[in-house]
Amino acid sequence: MGRRGVRQGQGRDDHRGQLDQGGHAGRLPEGQVHRAPAAGRPQGQGTLSFTNCWGIAAKSKHKDQAIKFVEAMTTVDQQMAFAKAFGVMPSRQSAGAQYTQQFPADKAFIDGAAYAQGPVNAPKMDSVLADFDAGLQGLTNGDPKALLARVQKNTQSALGR
């Protein structure tokens, strides 16, 4: 999920989300990162949520085993193991309370799931999102208004608007 992370004294926005947590655990001393919901907009709150999906081929020779595997991977205990290992929030709502108890600083992620939108899957958006991501990576020295204007222009062009 997107979030606003602010390093104390630097006022830096970071919308990369939870996947960064797993890979960056321990890089910053405790207390230097604050997780909070992304800023509201006139249209209301908004954030993105990305998920992985499980699929089983209808004609699979091992359909029963595949179903059991997916069931095992989506239990609350397994979802919490993924959270500990990779820094992701559980995909099951029933694990939300346990997650926020174990990771109270990440409550904004669980709360944001209620109004989160999925990724933009429109044709021709891959290059727009890649450019946006590159722009976010350089935002420390970049111009946020120029970046957003470029994303808006490129999105409208990609969507034919």
Q: What's the whole-number mean pLDDT along residues 110-128?
A: 83
Q: What's the whole-number mean pLDDT along residues 108-124?
A: 82
| Residue 113 and residue 95 in contact, taking contact as beta carbons nearer than 8 Å | no
Q: Is the pLDDT of residue 144 over 90?
A: no
Residues whose CB is less than 8 angstroms from the CB of residue 78 and which lie 6 or more positions away in sequence, other chains included: 72
| Residue 18 and residue 28 in contact, taking contact as beta carbons nearer than 8 Å | no
DSSP secondary structure, 56-69, as one string: --TT-TTHHHHHHH
What element of type H or E holds 4? strand 4-7
Residues 22-78: tens digit of each pLDDT: 544 555 555 556 666 666 667 777 777 777 678 898 899 999 999 999 999 999 999
At CB < 8 A and 24+ separation, what contacts does 98-107 make? 105/35, 106/18, 106/21, 106/35
Could you give the CA distance from residue 23 to residue 3 in angstroms, rounded to a whole number? 16
Q: Is the pLDDT of residue 100 over 80?
A: yes
The pTM (predicted TM-score) of the whole model is: 0.57
Tokens representing 93?
């709502």
Could you give the CA distance from residue 132 to residue 144 in angstroms, rounded to a whole number? 11
Could you give the CA distance from residue 3 to residue 37 in angstroms, rounded to a whole number? 6
